[in-house]
Structure 1
Amino acid sequence: MTAPRRLALGAAALYLVTWVTSVAAVPLYGGSAFDAGAGLAGRGSVLTAGLLEVVLALAVVGTALALYPLLSPHGPGAALGYAVLRTLEATVILAGVVAILPAVARPASTAPPALDPGVVAGLHLVHDWTFLVGPGLVNPVNAVVLAVLLLRRRLVPRFVPLLGIVGAVLVAAMNIGVMFGVTTPRPALAVPLFAWEICLASVLALRGIPTADGGEARRPERSARAIGPFLRGAGG
């Protein structure tokens, strides 16, 4: 198996990790500060959710690392932009994790942190805002950057990037509405963006990213060899 093929499979696997961890973490945190009467779940549940979000952030960056050497021959600016935006998204996710964990635990201790309820509510609110800004606003932007590149260069079937663009617009519009208090989160609007990543991962797993001459990606061979071991370790 060539290094570019391994990178495409690695990216597909990392997209799968992002779906599982992001979906699993949400209910483990308990209620959301979007609901004024909701509170956090128990210590173990919140710590597990935080750990899942750390894995999520690493997988988010991993998808960018895997795709960069495959996409850069087709559009180095867009490939770099996608990598930077995915890293920014992961950074915001980790900021939210760091904010919420003090509400339920201290490092190296099973004793409760005994924080004032108002402080706990504030930390919870910070986490909810990071979730809105990172996956809610930054992610749609990086999805559009990637989808436009794939569409312009015809690297995947046309419906895949179109689905990504439509899904990104819907999610971004919903979250801007939530930000300004004119609407509430509507999970159904995230379905097209979720479907875009499923379709993209399926294409990566089945056929990878072609080169400008129509073959399997080969030009970024050196970069692929450099990042391939990391992906094998992440997938293992």
Structure 2
Amino acid sequence: MSSDRRTAKVAGGLFLITEVAAVGGLTLYGPALRNADYVLGAGADARVFAGALCEIVLVLAVIGTGVVLYPVLRRRNEAAALGYVCGRLLEAAVIAVGIVAVLSVVTVRREVGAGVGGEAVARALVAVHDWTFLLGPNFVLGANTLVLAVLMYRSRLVPRFVAVLGLVGGPLICVSATAVLFGLYGQVSPVGSLAAVPVFAWEVTLAVRLIVKGFDPAAPAA
């Protein structure tokens, strides 16, 4: 197996991990994020910790996609390839801030509870997570998607219909995030979820393509 084929398989696997870990983390975080009285009750701390673990895996996978693809992408456009790696690092860093915020809610519940404004502090920490969720997996993800999709489209490393999903999804999720920023609708809403579908389709389709067939052998030489 050639090095590029191995790179494609690993990158595809990492993209799939990002999708599973992101959904798992958000689902498991539910009690702490949706229940305003979380700090007042017994709490579902183990579930929140499991969500944090999912998001730690997400952070590692996000970084991994940038690092693993860099040797292949830099042969096509070194500056854009480096930009993609840096963008993925930024995305991972923003997600990590959200992890810390949610874990801090658990600390507030255990050590402060309802006393000394514990509920208000918890709400503030959840707000921090919500903003990181908007900035990282939306604005930064959209920019990273666009950069990678342009590289894939121009280099023809994957079929162009796959790259087009990213060319559509990247800008669309950025526009949607801007609408959420100005309060036009909620991020976790039917409209917001619909706007995220093309990016989800792009990452899953790209992942399956890379795992099953690798980079297109008919792509022009670097």
TM-score (norm 2): 0.86
Q: Which amino acid aligns with 1:172?
A: C
Choose between structure 1 and 2: higher helix proportion.
2
Cα offset, 1:136, TM superposition: 1.1
Identity of aligned residues (%): 43
Partner Cα separation in structure 2 for residue 32 and residue 74 of structure 1: 44
1:207 corresponds to 2:213: yes
Partner Cα separation in structure 2 for residue 38 and residue 170 of structure 1: 31
Partner Cα separation in structure 1 for residue 84 and residue 103 of structure 2: 29
Cα offset, 1:151, TM superposition: 1.0
Say if 1:32 and 1:184 are closer, same or farther in 2 by CA, change over 3 A. Answer: farther
| Paired residues of 2:166 and 2:199 also in contact (CA < 8 A) | yes
Cα offset, 1:77, TM superposition: 1.0
2:59 is aligned to 57
1:14 corresponds to 2:14: yes
- 1:69 pairs, out of 68, 71, 96, with 71
- Residue ranges of structure 2 left out of the alignment (5+ in a row): none
Partner Cα separation in structure 1 for residue 37 and residue 87 of structure 2: 31
Cα offset, 1:211, TM superposition: 7.3
Partner Cα separation in structure 2 for residue 122 and residue 105 of structure 1: 13
1:140-185 CA-to-partner distances (Å, cap 9, x unmatched) read 0000001011111222111111111111122111111111112222
Alignment of 1:69-148 (within 5 A): 69-105=71-107, 112-115=110-113, 116-148=118-150
Q: How many residue pairs end up in the alignment?
A: 210
Alignment of 1:152-163 (within 5 A): 152-163=154-165
Cα offset, 1:69, TM superposition: 0.6
| Paired residues of 2:156 and 2:216 also in contact (CA < 8 A) | no
Alignment of 1:187-206 (within 5 A): 187-206=193-212
Partner Cα separation in structure 1 for residue 166 and residue 64 of structure 2: 19
2:170 is aligned to 168
| Paired residues of 1:31 and 1:39 also in contact (CA < 8 A) | no
Cα offset, 1:38, TM superposition: 4.7
Cα offset, 1:2, TM superposition: 2.2
| Paired residues of 1:11 and 1:66 also in contact (CA < 8 A) | yes
Q: Which amino acid aligns with 2:8?
A: A
1:104-124 CA-to-partner distances (Å, cap 9, x unmatched) read 138xxxx91325111111111
Partner Cα separation in structure 1 for residue 37 and residue 154 of structure 2: 46
